[in-house]
Structure formats: structure tokens, C-alpha cells
């Protein structure tokens, strides 16, 4: 018998609590970072906050739905989800269908919201890789059944993302697939050879496109051109430096006063660092670590291999996105245009990540039910 007064959940409540806290922090950060920009562009301080609230509500609704759908059902629709993702990525190339912003065509406009198919593709790939690795569990060490099918499917998705163009997301997905294949038991020598072959391709893509080369130079030495290619990262430095240990206080960021470009999206962590300092950023990092660790814990306790691989895929993708975004904002990595999960402004990323959390909760629920039998 359980002790009186103790509440028991049929899913992991810790991961849900951490995600709710992250989203709460994200809403405050989005409003603080975007209010001046929103007033200038739309005459409304709350423009971005209202849209982010709508994304949150819709995302939470889909998270609840995902929590209550048996994750094993996804195995039946793996190829359908994957095909739909590829079709959506392909449709972006059709003139006038995709929205072009910053030289890239990565979004569809549906009413008042924009959809980024690459975010949907991440979840579809997680399901496909989990299903394929579970089905071929005993032969993952072979090239034809282990590495090759995942390499082919991953290359198609990555290729469609590259032509948008979006090298950052393509690299993230590529690294993520390699991590999952390593977990799934693909021959290590094959993975090392794959990385070796991919490196010169990545080098060519980075050095033979002007804006990517500029980003690389800005990463290596932003002070060479402080008013040009180094502008964004230098102002990110200034935000972190101004924040110090405890920060300047909520709403007191100076970099959001139209200095740091688009402060509510990819570089929102810089505004958070300026306003709440090292202590606040550390607390944020702890919440992310909790989400990832609990996700891995769910994976290890899943009642079957599909659940294990699916939970591991979702958790690893979140971990990689957080590490890359933080690395970019602190100039540890070249600028990639990747959002900070649950924090940055944007609907597609937030909604897909919340669906992923719902799937994790369903897997934890099945694991809990298995232990009760």
C-alpha cells in the first residue's frame, strides 16, 4: 500500500514539470526580448507574446493528445509520416508556395501561422529510425541492413533541407542520426568512415557560399568587422558580459533596444543572460538537463525496443538543439539559426517539441503500467 497523501502518476511528472517551467520562462523571455521590436513593427508590445501564447496552447493540446495515444500505433504509420514530411519539404521548392525569409525558403503560411516542415521531419525521422532499428535489431551491425537504409532515408531528408537552404538543420539531423545509429549498434568503423566522407562535403558547403563563409569568419574573429558580420555575436557578448552573476533585472536588457537583431528568436539566451545573469542561465540549463535525463530514463525503462529508440531519439534531438543553440550564442560554434527549445519564439519548433514530450509521457505511462502487472 502506498503512503496516504502521496500522489501517484501513471507518467513521468518530473519531465512535465520541467517543460512547463521552461515554457513559462520562455513566455517571459519572449515578451521581454520582443516588446520593443513588436512596438516598432506592429505598434503592439504584446504582438509576439500573444502569438507565442497561442502556439503554447495549441502545443499543449497536441501534447495531451500524444500522451494518450499508444506510441506503438506510430509503427503502423511510420512510412506515411515520413513520406508526408518529404512531400512538405519538396513543396517548399515550388515557387510561391514557400515563404522566403533571410534568403531561405523554409516555411509555409497557413492563416496566421507559419509551418516549418523540417521540424515535422525531425519527428518523422525519429519514428522511422526507431522502427527500423527495432525491426533490424539483430542485424544492425551489417552494412545493408544497419547503416544503408538509414543513410538513404536520412540523405533524402537532409538533401531536401539543404536546398532550402538550411545547412545548420541538415548538420544537426545528420549528427543526430549518427548518434542514434551508434546507440542502435551500427558498426563503429562504418560510422567513422561516414563521418570522414561527410567532412569534406561539409567543408565545401561552408566555404563555397558567401554568407556561410561570413558566418565562419565571424565565429573565428568577430572583431575584424564589428559593424558587419561580427555585429550579432559581439552584441551577444555584450549581453552576457552585462548580465554578470545576477543580471540587470527583468526587462532591463539594453541589447533588446534594437541592437541585437531578432532577439526573441535564435539569440534569446543572450537577452536572458543579460537580464537574469549567470544564475538564471544556470537554472535554465538545469531544467534542460532534467528534461533530457528524464527522457533518457524513460527510454531505458520503455517496455520494448521501439519505445526505447523513440524516446532516445526525441531526447537526443532536444539535447543537441540545446547544446548547439547555446554554443552559437556564446560563440563556441558558428551561427546556425537554430531555436532554443521551449524558449525561443516560433510555432513549429514549440509545437513539435511538445508533441515529442507527449510521446515521452506515453512511453513512461506504458512502462509504469508494465511494472504494475
Structural domain boundaries of the chain? 13-372
pLDDT, one tens digit per residue, over 172-189 is 899 999 999 999 888 889
Q: Can you read off the three cell numbers belonging to residue 304?
A: 520494448
Predicted pLDDT of residue 110: 66
pLDDT, one tens digit per residue, over 190-238 is 889 988 888 888 888 877 777 777 777 777 777 777 777 777 888 888 8
pTM: 0.89
Burial 2-37 (b: 16+ CB within 10 A, else e): eeeeeeeeebbeebbebbebbbebbbbbbbbbbbeb
Predicted pLDDT of residue 102: 58
- The residues pairing with 101 across neighbouring beta strands, listed in sequence order, are 104
Q: How many CB atoms lie within 10 A of CB 198?
A: 15
Q: Does residue 341 contact residue 318 with C-beta atoms inside 8 Å?
A: yes
Which residues of the chain are modeled with pLDDT < 50? 1-3, 5-7, 372-373
Predicted pLDDT of residue 373: 45
Predicted pLDDT of residue 111: 62
Predicted pLDDT of residue 83: 93
Number of H helices, E strands in the chain: 12, 3
Predicted pLDDT of residue 98: 67
Q: What's the burial of 305, exposed, middle or buried (CB within 10 Å: 0-12/13-18/19+)?
A: middle
Amino acid at each position: 500500500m502506498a503512503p496516504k497523501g502521496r500522489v501517484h502518476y501513471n507518467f513521468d511528472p518530473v519531465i512535465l514539470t520541467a517543460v512547463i517551467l521552461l515554457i513559462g520562462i520562455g513566455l517571459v523571455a519572449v515578451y521581454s526580448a520582443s516588446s520593443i521590436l513588436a512596438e516598432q513593427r506592429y505598434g503592439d508590445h504584446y504582438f509576439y507574446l500573444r502569438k507565442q501564447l497561442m502556439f503554447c496552447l495549441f502545443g499543449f493540446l497536441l501534447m495531451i493528445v500524444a500522451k494518450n495515444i499508444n506510441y506503438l500505433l506510430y509503427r503502423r504509420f511510420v512510412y506515411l509520416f515520413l513520406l508526408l514530411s518529404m512531400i512538405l519539404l519538396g513543396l517548399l521548392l515550388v515557387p510561391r508556395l514557400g515563404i522566403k525569409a533571410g534568403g531561405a525558403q523554409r516555411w509555409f503560411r497557413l492563416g496566421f501561422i507559419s509551418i516549418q516542415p523540417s521540424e515535422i521531419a525531425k519527428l518523422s525521422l525519429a519514428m522511422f529510425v526507431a522502427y527500423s532499428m527495432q525491426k533490424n535489431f539483430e542485424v544492425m551491425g551489417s552494412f545493408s541492413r544497419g547503416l544503408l537504409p538509414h543513410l538513404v532515408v536520412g540523405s533524402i531528408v537532409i538533401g531536401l533541407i539543404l536546398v532550402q537552404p538550411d545547412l545548420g538543420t541538415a548538420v544537426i539531423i545528420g549528427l543526430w542520426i549518427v548518434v542514434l545509429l551508434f546507440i542502435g549498434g551500427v558498426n563503429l568503423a562504418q560510422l567513422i568512415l561516414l563521418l570522414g566522407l561527410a567532412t569534406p562535403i561539409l567543408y565545401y558547403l561552408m566555404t563555397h557560399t558567401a554568407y556561410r563563409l561570413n558566418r565562419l569568419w565571424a565565429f573565428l574573429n568577430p572583431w575584424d568587422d564589428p559593424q558587419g558580420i561580427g555585429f550579432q555575436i559581439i552584441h551577444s557578448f555584450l549581453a552576457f558580459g552585462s548580465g554578470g552573476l545576477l543580471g540587470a533585472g527583468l526587462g532591463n536588457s539594453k541589447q533588446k533596444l534594437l541592437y541585437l537583431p531578432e532577439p526573441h528568436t535564435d539569440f534569446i539566451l543572450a537577452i536572458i543572460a543579460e537580464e537574469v545573469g549567470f544564475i538564471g542561465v544556470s537554472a535554465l540549463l538545469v531544467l534542460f538537463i532534467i528534461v533530457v535525463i528524464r527522457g533518457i530514463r524513460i527510454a531505458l525503462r520503455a517496455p520494448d525496443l521501439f519505445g526505447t529508440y523513440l524516446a532516445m531519439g526525441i531526447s537526443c534531438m532536444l539535447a543537441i538543439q540545446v547544446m548547439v543553440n547555446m554554443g552559437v550564442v556564446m560563440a563556441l560554434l558558428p551561427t546556425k539559426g537554430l531555436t532554443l527549445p521551449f524558449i525561443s519564439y516560433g510555432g513549429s519548433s514549440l509545437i513539435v517539441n511538445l508533441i515529442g514530450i507527449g510521446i515521452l509521457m506515453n512511453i513512461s505511462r506504458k512502462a509504469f503500467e508494465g511494472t504494475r502487472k
